[in-house]
Amino acid sequence: MLTTILAHRGHLTFKQFSQMIGELVKKKDEYDIDIVIYKKLITLLIEILENVMKYSDNFIEFTRKHPEFQPEFILSRNGASYLIESVNPVKESDISIVRQKIDKVNSLDLTALKALYRETIRNGSFTDKGGAGLGFIEMAKTTNGPLFYQFDRISEQFYNFKLYLRLQ
Amino acid sequence: MESLLIHPTISTPFINFDLNSGIFEMSGVSRPEDVLDFYRPVMEWLEKLESNVLAKTTAGQELKKIQLEYKMDYFNTGSSKFILKITKVLSSIHQAGKDLSVTWHYEAGDEQMREDGEYLAEAADIEFNFQEDDE
């Protein structure tokens, strides 16, 4: 049975982001989430929501005009599996870099992923948004599986970026 | 030169780099709203310490050893780069003649946190002691 543990729809502020982390802390006991899984969920939640927040300047005007395309986030559980789904608009011009980053981590096995993580933490630089270039690597390393994604066109300039992560 | 004390918040860590005892502790959560902004004064303080040690000022000479204690609950990937930078500056101070020990604490069963410590130790090229703590 699919159970929703956390859900959010709409523009995400840092305060709301912190509240969601706080919610997950409370849900840990309510849903009897194993400590190892819980730590991984925290990691995934932080990396996904930070991405949505950091790049919200790119789509906030668009979502104001088109409120039907708000960012969405859902964490659910089905038996022993946890599913994280996130949706947010991205500019068409940003698609290729996102696709390139995800396809790269999806092409690597866990050993190669860890090597890429070590290389990036040692030599990578920060983006102007304060990103460390480690987010997708961390997600793939944490889930030990592919990052599923798709882009759906929603306007001339924007696509909805849908990201699905499964944690066993 | 004063010790560095930063009180924790819901998204930032407790930092207490105590020059009198030589115990440098960083603990809790690190996912600052602006990671560059949060760690800027920490890095500036460490660079000042390094300068004092290299120049053998009174402050530099009074510091006999550094016992670095990481006790993190969780941190974002941006913070991991700063944990590495902090470790590297202290490693450089160690190469200038100060004793340095680094202990990476992690909650019992939290293998991911232990693994994160292993990555950072390798990236900093320094040996960490790993300490599994009960909840």
Number of domains in chain B: 1
Shortest distance between the Cα of B109 and any Cα of chain A, in A, equals 7
Vertex A27 angle, CA A71 and B7, to 5° = 85
Domain range for residue B66? 4-133
Chain A residues whose beta carbon lies within 8 Å of the beta carbon of residue B36: 126, 130
B6's enclosing H/E stretch is: strand B4-6
Which residues on B lie below 8 Å from A14 (Cβ)? 11, 33
pLDDT in tens, A68-126: 888 999 999 999 899 999 999 999 988 999 999 999 999 999 899 988 988 888 876 66
Q: Is the dihedral of CA A106, A107, A111, A113 positive or negative?
A: negative
Cα distance from A155 to chain B (closest Cα, Å)? 30
Beta strands in chain A (DSSP E): 2-9, 72-78, 81-91, 148-153, 158-167
pTM for the model stands at 0.89
Evaluate whether B124 touches B104 at the Cβ level (below 8 Å).
no
Q: What is the CATH number of the domain that holds B18?
A: 3.30.750
What's the whole-number mean pLDDT along residues A133-147? 90
Walk along chain B (135 residues) and give the pLDDT tens digit of each residue: 999 999 999 999 999 999 999 999 999 999 999 999 999 999 999 999 999 999 888 888 888 899 999 999 999 999 999 999 999 999 999 999 899 999 999 998 888 899 999 999 999 999 999 999 986
Residues spanned by the domain of A112: 2-167
pLDDT band at A12 (very low <50, low <70, confident <90, very high): confident
- The amino acid occupying position A129 is K
What pLDDT is recorded for position B113?
92
- Asked if A14's CB is within 8 angstroms of B81's CB, the reply is no
Q: What's the total number of domains in chain A? A: 1
- Does position A130 have pLDDT exceeding 60, yes or no? no
Q: What is the CATH number of the domain that holds A64?
A: 3.30.565.10
pLDDT band at A132 (very low <50, low <70, confident <90, very high): low
